[in-house]
């Protein structure tokens, strides 16, 4: 299950995701083949075949293996990638970015530095957001020039300052700060711990016959270990100099706040039920509906905990909360006691502690996520009453074993949840989470279920369809309730890979992408034809359980802005139908390219409301 916020990605990514960073979408590339006169058009991830490769040793053992062993795998992997590009006409830029990103990683690992500029150029042509286009491949170009010219670390630091410093700060600042935060945390220990405690386990489960993307992960980790980490001090210092240069730069324009409105406590309005379908809510911070909520445990069975229990981690909540705040400060390039504490914690981890640390990160993210979303949904509305639909998803790294029984239980939980929403007369529901069939493919592979990748793909589609159809039917059964979903934070197209709930097309469902306060699409926001609205999802003030406030980013923070507006419209004019509220929100939005920016004041005016 993916929550629609990249909040702690910079922490978790340093171990698992950074180790697998170069492969992107390569796990979903097609089978090796020679070029054909007419390439097969690919418009969906479902159409892409899968591949596996037999490893001679555990993934972690390749981190220290002779370079020749890794090089042999890399060359076979590269041949398959190029065959895929020759055979398939892939109509998805995000998938193509994954393929060419893997080729860029392979070129660097093999020392083919002269080919780097062309690959970077191709990757940039596949980017449609100014910030990511500007920063894509900058480090690869610096590495190429360093090796071709035999330059030292001082030269690298100066080049980081020169090249990143020349970019438009307004467009590139978030990417630059994000890169700096990742570089400050990443280490050989984190990567090794991730390999030993996660990838090695999966490889053993699969008898070493693993998804081919794992080869890309190994090559990427070796490149990172051999090339980037020795230059880490120079890169971080260079990026810090760029950040410092712009420390006094004017803040981005705020067109979001003037669009907002609040309802006065004494206004002529009625109470309105807002459901937060999420990972759990601290209802002590809000005025709840009479029924308060319904909760489901990790097996999708009814339980009583509306706020996720921390269990054995409860005594460590103060320290875990500091990690949350430190990750936010680090992501904003702020040197604070909390960000320094985070760096100190990560730097002292041993390899065998990485898994427990990552699970702590996952646990704390699930613990506060729903509460933060609820805080945004009720902001400025004293008539809001919160109903929690708490899905207590598992925070452990090992996925549950998929089965038809589990999927049917999940389907049943969706029907139970919507029945509870109708019983409570809830008017609007926020859903800041999403997942697709690929999640089941990964879990099936982990447990070595299915005879081969193609069979796993079909099994995953069947299990996912049980849950998708149940959720669609449940939402459709509540036509008077408006459901609002976050689009996701993968900077990909929701049209290429099917997700729920964001990919569902229903008259009472709106999917929302994220912009910043200036109305510019964020670098992380997922897009596509189902993404019909955008709202501020960048550094939004939100509460943690207990009430302390932080600034969070993600489409998780954007979608409750729309739920907030819908609830205000109903509070002020309860007789409105669902379609009237939906239409007012859509018609009041301002189209700016593919961004359709919500305008709460304009929507209220369309309904004749006096603010």
Clarify whether residues 126 and 191 are in a common domain. yes
Q: Beta partners for 482?
A: 428
Which of 186, 211, 245 is the endpoint of a domain?
245
Mean pLDDT over 597-605 rounds to 97
Helix (H) or strand (E) holding 79: helix 67-87
pLDDT tier at 13, thresholds 50, 70, 90: very low
Q: Which pLDDT score is estimated for 29?
A: 29
Mean pLDDT over 208-230 rounds to 94
Clarify whether residues 181 and 283 are in a common domain. no
Mean pLDDT over 270-290 rounds to 98
Clarify whether residues 438 and 492 are in a common domain. yes
257 domain-assigned: no
Which range marks the domain in which residue 198 is found?
Answer: 2-245
First to last CA, the chain: 39
Clarify whether residues 437 and 548 are in a common domain. yes
Clarify whether residues 504 and 424 are in a common domain. yes
pLDDT tens digits, one per residue of 28-54: 223 333 344 689 999 998 898 789 999
pLDDT tens digits, one per residue of 230-254: 999 999 999 999 999 998 876 778 9
Clarify whether residues 28 and 75 are in a common domain. yes
165 domain-assigned: yes
337 domain-assigned: yes
235 domain-assigned: yes
Runs of H (alpha helix) within 150-272 = 153-165, 169-185, 188-194, 200-205, 213-223, 232-245
Q: Of 114-128, 316-330, 360-374, 535-549, which range is least confident?
A: 316-330
Clarify whether residues 235 and 279 are in a common domain. no
264 domain-assigned: no
Q: Residue 1: pLDDT above 70?
A: no
254 domain-assigned: no
pLDDT tens digits, one per residue of 380-434: 999 999 999 999 999 999 999 999 999 999 999 999 999 999 999 999 999 999 9
Clarify whether residues 226 and 290 are in a common domain. no
Residues 6 or more apart whose CB falls under 8 angstroms from that of 166 comprise none
263 domain-assigned: no
The first and second tokens of residue 532, run together, are 């019909």
pLDDT tier at 121, thresholds 50, 70, 90: very high
Mean pLDDT over 548-552 rounds to 94
Mean pLDDT over 123-147 rounds to 95
Q: Residue 25: pLDDT above 60?
A: no
Our CA angle for 550, 191, 14, nearest 5°, is 20
Q: Which pLDDT score is estimated for 16?
A: 37
Clarify whether residues 485 and 518 are in a common domain. yes
Distance of CA 488 to the CA centre of its chain: 6
Clarify whether residues 231 and 280 are in a common domain. no
Question: Is the peptide bond preceding residue 501 cis, with omega within 30 degrees of 0?
Answer: yes
pLDDT tens digits, one per residue of 260-270: 999 999 999 99
Clarify whether residues 366 and 235 are in a common domain. no
252 domain-assigned: no
Domain count, the chain: 2
Q: Which pLDDT score is estimated for 2?
A: 65
Clarify whether residues 234 and 325 are in a common domain. no
Which of 196, 230, 245 is the endpoint of a domain?
245
CATH code, domain carrying 452: 3.40.50.200
Our CA angle for 450, 455, 460, nearest 5°, is 85
Q: What is the mean pLDDT of the chain?
A: 91
Cα–Cα dist 240/333, whole Å: 8
pLDDT tens digits, one per residue of 321-379: 998 898 888 888 888 998 999 999 999 999 999 999 999 999 999 999 999 999 999 99
Q: Residue 279: pLDDT above 90?
A: yes
Which of 228, 245, 262 is the endpoint of a domain?
245
């Amino acid at each position: 299950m993916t929550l629609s916020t990249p909040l702690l990605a910079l922490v978790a990514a340093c171990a698992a995701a950074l180790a697998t960073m170069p492969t992107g979408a390569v796990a979903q590339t097609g089978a090796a083949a020679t070029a054909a006169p007419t390439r097969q058009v690919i418009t969906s991830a479902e159409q892409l075949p899968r591949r596996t490769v037999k490893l001679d040793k555990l993934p972690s053992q390749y981190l220290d293996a002779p370079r020749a062993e890794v090089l042999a795998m890399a060359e076979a992997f590269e041949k398959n990638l190029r065959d895929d590009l020759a055979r398939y006409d892939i109509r998805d830029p995000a998938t193509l970015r994954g393929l060419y990103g893997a080729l860029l990683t392979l070129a660097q690992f093999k020392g083919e530095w002269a080919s780097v500029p062309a690959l970077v150029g191709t990757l940039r042509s596949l980017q449609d957001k100014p910030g990511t286009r500007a920063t894509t491949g900058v480090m690869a170009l610096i590495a190429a020039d360093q090796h071709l010219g035999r330059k030292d670390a001082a030269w690298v630091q100066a080049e980081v300052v020169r090249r990143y410093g020349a970019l438009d700060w307004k467009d590139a600042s978030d990417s630059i700060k994000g890169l700096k935060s990742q570089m400050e945390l990443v280490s050989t220990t984190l990567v090794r711990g991730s390999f030993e405690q996660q990838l090695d386990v999966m490889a053993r489960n699969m008898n070493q016959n693993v998804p081919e993307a794992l080869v890309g992960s190994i090559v990427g980790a070796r490149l990172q270990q051999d090339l980037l980490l020795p230059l880490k001090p120079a890169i971080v210092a260079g990026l810090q100099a760029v950040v410092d240069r712009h420390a006094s730069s004017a803040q981005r324009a705020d067109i979001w706040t003037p669009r907002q409105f609040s309802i006065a406590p004494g206004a002529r309005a009625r109470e309105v039920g807002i459901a937060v379908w999420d990972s759990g809510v601290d209802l002590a911070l809000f005025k709840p509906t009479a029924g308060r909520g319904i909760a489901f445990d990790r097996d999708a069975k009814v339980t009583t905990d509306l706020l996720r229990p921390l269990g054995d981690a409860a005594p460590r909540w103060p320290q875990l909360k500091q990690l949350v705040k430190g990750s936010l400060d680090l992501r904003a390039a702020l040197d604070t006691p909390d960000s320094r504490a985070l760096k100190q914690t990560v730097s002292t981890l041993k390899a065998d502690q990485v898994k427990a640390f990552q699970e702590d990160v996952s646990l704390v993210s699930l613990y506060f996520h729903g509460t933060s979303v609820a805080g945004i949904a009720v902001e400025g509305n004293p008539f809001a009453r919160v109903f929690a639909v708490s899905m207590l998803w598992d925070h452990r790294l090992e996925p549950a074993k998929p089965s038809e029984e589990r999927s049917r239980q999940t389907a049943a939980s969706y029907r139970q949840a919507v029945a509870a929403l109708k019983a409570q007369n809830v008017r609007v529901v926020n859903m800041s989470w999403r997942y697709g069939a690929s999640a089941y493919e990964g879990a099936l592979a982990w447990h070595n279920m299915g005879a081969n990748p193609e069979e796993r793909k079909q099994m995953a589609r069947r299990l996912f369809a049980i849950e998708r159809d149940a959720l669609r039917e449940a939402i459709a059964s509540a036509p008077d309730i408006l459901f609002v979903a976050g689009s996701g934070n993968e900077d990909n197209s929701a049209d290429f890979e099917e997700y729920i709930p964001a990919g569902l097309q229903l008259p009472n469902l709106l999917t929302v992408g994220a912009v910043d306060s200036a109305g510019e699409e964020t670098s992380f926001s997922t897009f596509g034809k189902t993404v019909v609205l955008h709202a501020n999802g960048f550094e939004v003030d939100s509460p943690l359980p207990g009430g302390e406030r932080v600034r969070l980013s993600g489409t998780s923070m954007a979608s409750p802005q729309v739920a907030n507006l819908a609830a205000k419209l109903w509070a002020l004019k309860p007789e409105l139908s669902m379609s009237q509220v939906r239409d007012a929100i859509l018609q009041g939005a301002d189209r700016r390219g593919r961004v359709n920016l919500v305008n709460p004041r304009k929507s209220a005016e369309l309904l004749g409301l006096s603010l």
